[in-house]
Amino acid sequence: MVRTSKHREDIEHLNYRPAVPYPYDLEIFRVSDLKRRTREEKMRVTYRYEFHMLICVTHGRCVQWVDFDPISCNPGALIALRPGQAHNFGRDENWDGWVVLFRPEFLLPTLSPSSDLELTFDFERLPSFLNLNSDELRRVLDSIVQMREDSLINASSEDVHTLLRYQLYALVTWLGVIHSRRRTHDTLHSHALLRFTRFQKLVEEHFAEWSQVSEYAIRLGCTERSLTRATKAAVGVSAKTFISARINLEAKRLLVHTDFPIGEIAEKLGFEEATHFSKFFKRETGFTPAEFRRRQVAESLATDPALELKKSR
């Protein structure tokens, strides 16, 4: 375990020094290859890097230490390290993944056309940690493997260097898009969930009084459309369906557990006419209230004949 009390100035700095004659400012290798060529005690040392590093876990589980904080990683975990950060690969053995190293200036495009300056990438837009799903992980691995293969091409080093730079630019930009999309989705989802929670509470309190979505939207200070979106996001049905389901549930409870006449149940549920209630109930269940009550009584007697004996006494 890395001791968090260790001072940053005591940490060994590592510069970007690929093996000669490798000519590029980006290097890619598997963690298993790094383990084979590095002594075990060196793998467990905390270093402060002078370059960017992407670590993508593909197999097994491990704990990475970044600035002395543990990060638990499963397959699909992606860590983005900036120059100056302290990192330790930890002590876990049974895991593998890819490591991508590159100099900070590698993300800067060639300065020939001035328009190329628009392609500079702000690495700070990336989060320090991303959990990729299976499809996202597959895309990242395809990009990394392709860059690895292209770095071995026997061609003009200048052309390959340019190719690798734009491939890396595409990858980190796509990762930034994923992060931005998730952040937007999480924000929207949290707002929608809060709105639905308030709506659900109002329905529970007022379903017998308010049967229209508009009545709830007014109280919640939102549009009917936004309320329906929030309800669909939370439970997968529209706000109108949610209200109807709650009224229908209460109707079933009253029909089965009480002897109230149909008209009285209709009144309790906010229907002006018993016929309106009967039409609503049949639309929701396929039965009229009277038919539903008879079926429930018949099923109860079938499962418990003692009920008929009690009724006959």
Q: Tell me what the mean pLDDT of segment 209-213 comes to.
A: 95
CATH code of 243's domain:
1.10.10.60
Residues 100, 70 share a domain: yes
Q: Tell me what the mean pLDDT of segment 208-237 comes to.
A: 92
Residues 45, 174 share a domain: yes
In a domain, 70, yes or no: yes
Say how far apart CA 37 and CA 51 lie, in whole Å.
Answer: 20
In a domain, 124, yes or no: yes
Q: What is the mean pLDDT of the chain?
A: 85
- Please give the angle made by the CA atoms of 20, 23 and 27, to the nearest 5 degrees: 90
Q: Tell me what the mean pLDDT of segment 260-289 comes to.
A: 94
Say how far apart CA 216 and CA 230 lie, in whole Å.
Answer: 13
Residues 49, 168 share a domain: yes
Q: Tell me what the mean pLDDT of segment 106-132 comes to.
A: 63
Say how far apart CA 230 and CA 198 lie, in whole Å.
Answer: 11
- The residue out of 186, 219, 245 marking a domain boundary is 186
Q: Tell me what the mean pLDDT of segment 225-230 comes to.
A: 92
Residues 136, 216 share a domain: no
Q: CA distances (Å), 164 to each of 101, 199, 240, in order?
A: 12, 52, 54
Number of domains in the chain: 2
Residues 31, 154 share a domain: yes
For the residues of 63-82, what is the DSSP string, one character each?
EEEETTEEEEE-TTEEEEE-
Residues 118, 17 share a domain: yes
Say how far apart CA 66 and CA 80 lie, in whole Å.
Answer: 10
Helix (H, G, I), strand (E, B) or coil at 269: coil
Task: Report the pLDDT value the prediction gives residue 309, as an integer from 0 to 100.
Answer: 41
Strand partners, 73: 62
Each residue's pLDDT tens digit, 34-76: 999 999 888 989 999 999 999 999 999 999 999 888 999 999 9
pLDDT of residue 4 exceeding 50, the answer is: no
Residues 234, 160 share a domain: no
Residues 149, 232 share a domain: no
Task: Report the pLDDT value the prediction gives residue 311, as an integer from 0 to 100.
Answer: 45
Specify the range with the lowest mean pLDDT, choosing from 138-142, 158-162, 180-184, 206-210.
180-184
Closest CA to 216 of 243, 190, 235, 193: 243
Residues 101, 242 share a domain: no
CATH code of 60's domain:
2.60.120.280
Sign of the CA dihedral with 145 first, then 147, 151, and 153 last: positive
Q: Give, for 139, the enclosing helix (H) or strand (E).
A: helix 134-150
- The residue out of 134, 155, 186 marking a domain boundary is 186
In a domain, 34, yes or no: yes
In a domain, 128, yes or no: yes
In a domain, 258, yes or no: yes
Task: Report the pLDDT value the prediction gives residue 177, as an integer from 0 to 100.
Answer: 86
Instruction: Tell me the angle at which helices 213-220 and 157-206 cross, rounded to the nearest 10 degrees.
Output: 110
In a domain, 200, yes or no: no
In this prediction the pTM is 0.57
In a domain, 202, yes or no: no
Residue-number span of the structural domain to which 129 is assigned: 10-186
Residues 161, 25 share a domain: yes
User: Model confidence at 277, in pLDDT bands (50, 70, 90)?
Assistant: very high
Question: Given strand 129-131, what is the order of strands in its sheet?
Answer: 26-30, 95-102, 52-60, 77-81, 129-131
In a domain, 93, yes or no: yes
- The residue out of 156, 186, 216 marking a domain boundary is 186
Closest CA to 97 of 56, 132, 149: 56
Specify the range with the lowest mean pLDDT, choosing from 113-122, 188-197, 263-272.
113-122
Residues 120, 26 share a domain: yes
Residues 215, 108 share a domain: no
Say how far apart CA 293 and CA 281 lie, in whole Å.
Answer: 12
